[in-house]
A and B are shown apart, each in its own frame.
Chain A
Amino acid sequence: MPASVTPLYFFVVSALIFAIGAAGVLIRRNAIVVFMCIEMMLSAVNLTFIAAAHYLNSLDGVLMVFFVMTVAAAEAAVGLGIFVLLFRGRKTIRVDEINLLKW
């Protein structure tokens, strides 16, 4: 990469992706899409870790990325299971229609 591409660029890009993901979670109504937005936030975090690890010349960040990926996969598996279960009972996974519990 050209020397002038400082880590700052990566931090800005990952911050933007993180913000887009967070906005998506708040705006979108389909649970699967919401969950995809969360995955996007995690990917943005991974980008930060990789950039920081490269810049700091340390392995910790890379190590963290492996674990984040694994955790994200486990979360996705559990999430899909819960969505399927919910859809079987309700015939919807729109987050604004899941409102049996409220005060």
Chain B
Amino acid sequence: MELFQVQVTMTDLLVIAPELALTGFALVILLMSAFARPERRGFLGYTALLGVVAAMVSLYWGIGVEASAFGGMVRIDPLSFFFKAMILLICLLIVLVSLGYAKREGIGFGEYYVLILFAAVGMMLMASGVNLLIIFLGLEVMSISIYILAGIMRDDTRSVEAAFKYFLLGAFASAFLLYGIALIYASTGTLDLAGIGRVLAEQSWISGRPILITGVALLTVGFGFKLALVPFHMWTPDVYEGAPTSITAFMATGVKAAGFAAFVRVFFYALPSLQAHWTQIMWILAVATMTVGNIIALSQSNIKRMLAYSSIAHAGYILVAFVAGNELGISGILFYLLAYVFMNIGAFTVVILLGKKGEENTLIGDYAGIGYHHPLLALAMAVFMFSLAGVPPTAGFMAKFYVFSAAVKADYYWLAVIGVLNSAVAAYYYLRVLIYMYFREPEREQAIGGFSPAAVLAIIISVWGVLQMGILPSAFLALARQSIQFLL
């Protein structure tokens, strides 16, 4: 009967301390928002900020630690530590940005912050789960929170439509992912990632091989939807355009980071013995994702939509590193995601600051002449656009450099060539924004609607990150390398 001898030790709690901290704060904010008077709800955002900082402090214990908890369900190791830290950073930036934006758009009630924190909890569970059950639960906690967040501007039909589309397609994708998990479980007999890895390593031919391969394929489809890989990307532009801009930034960075964390964990931890099989599929996905994302982005006139397609393309670049699968490749994934966090959240924050209540000003034409009226904001936007395009000395350049050299090292020359050609195409639509900002006369007077010190702080952090990772990348790369050392 030792099945019932369950005990929770201090280590168990320490491993999930950041998740516990965020959950606790989320519940407190939920109660506060129910009881506080409407005019005094301004401090809820600051409480959320405090929660994120508390989670960061509690993560401090996990530096360099390798430990499993709750009977091998979750794990803290350098990989999950890196992703957890990244998710908390994303969460911090998003909450900072939201302080002004949510107030301006009238969505700054408690639920908004509660759902951001819950989504972050789900993301962190995805990053630290080493059991398919936990990964699935984390994914759902994250997704369900974000379905609601996408539609949180209840009076804006576009926001509700974004939530609707994201919900239907997200639930559809979850079903595929779940069926993949079920088939993997049926053929290997376990949900534990290390266990799956062991079973596959021991038995070169197992009786349920076709079932296993089908399971892995369905799992890839499920993740493909969440990560917006072509051809599972159709929802992305609509949802990114309709959702509140702060949530768009959250989706583009947080969901991708958590998704890739689980993706790396599942494929390099549990399924390395099938690498020869899945690399071919990933190769095709990588090329399709980069190319389709960039080419459709060329013709976009709405900047949120353009950034949505650009985020699809960036997922493609990350897949290039995934295909390479060597040390530089996997650490390249981590480096790229971190660089992407800074440049993407930064760019969306500028988009937010240039909008007003009910008037988002997201057409590229609205950016004409910004370089003269708001020189500092335009300068920040220029840094982010250069970085997204991959121009040195920015984070985006170094990230692309590592990713493509990983592909060359692994003898995927064509993949690297296609990637470089793609970034050349991409430069066109990023630099077009710069041309509008500096060389076009404004059609009408622009005023900053939602200026808030917290958002400026977020921009400063992002600019610092982009430049730091671009000029002195070695420390970040060393960190990324350390984080994946135990996988190899």
Contact = CB atoms under 8 A, between A and B. Distances in A.
Interface string B303-330: 0010000000000000000000000000
Given A11-B186, A44-B179, A101-B241, A35 B144 contact: no
B300 interface: yes
Interface in B140-163: 140, 144, 147-148, 151, 154, 157-158, 160-163
Interface in B164-192: 164-165, 167-168, 171-172, 174-175, 178-179, 181-183, 185-186, 189-191
Given A82-B163, A86-B160, A42 B178 contact: yes
Interface string A58-94: 1011011001100100110011011101100110000
A95 B168 contact: yes
Interface residues of B, number: 42
Among A7, A34, A75, A95, find the residue whose CB has the most chain B CB atoms closer than 10 A: A75
Contact of A79 (B171, B189, B241, B305): B171
Contacts of B237: 101, 103
Interface string A6-26: 010001000000100110010
Contact of B154 (A63, A83, A85): A85
Interface in B98-144: 133, 136-137, 140, 144
B242 interface: yes
Contacts of A67: 133, 136-137
Given A18-B179, A78-B144, A82-B151, A52 B185 contact: yes
A35 B182 contact: no
Given A79-B167, A98-B164, A45 B175 contact: yes
B162 to A, nearest CB: 7
A63 B305 CA distance: 41
B238 interface: yes
A45 B179 contact: yes
Interface of B: 133, 136-137, 140, 144, 147-148, 151, 154, 157-158, 160-165, 167-168, 171-172, 174-175, 178-179, 181-183, 185-186, 189-191, 211, 237-238, 241-242, 296, 299-300, 305
Closest 6 CB pairs of A and B: A52-B186, A41-B175, A101-B238, A48-B182, A71-B140, A89-B157
Given A81-B148, A85-B160, 6 more contacts: A11-B211, A35-B168, A41-B172, A71-B140, A89-B160, A100-B161
Interface of A: 7, 11, 18, 21-22, 25, 31, 34-35, 38, 41-42, 44-45, 48-49, 51-52, 55-56, 58, 60-61, 63-64, 67-68, 71, 74-75, 78-79, 81-83, 85-86, 89-90, 95, 98, 100-103
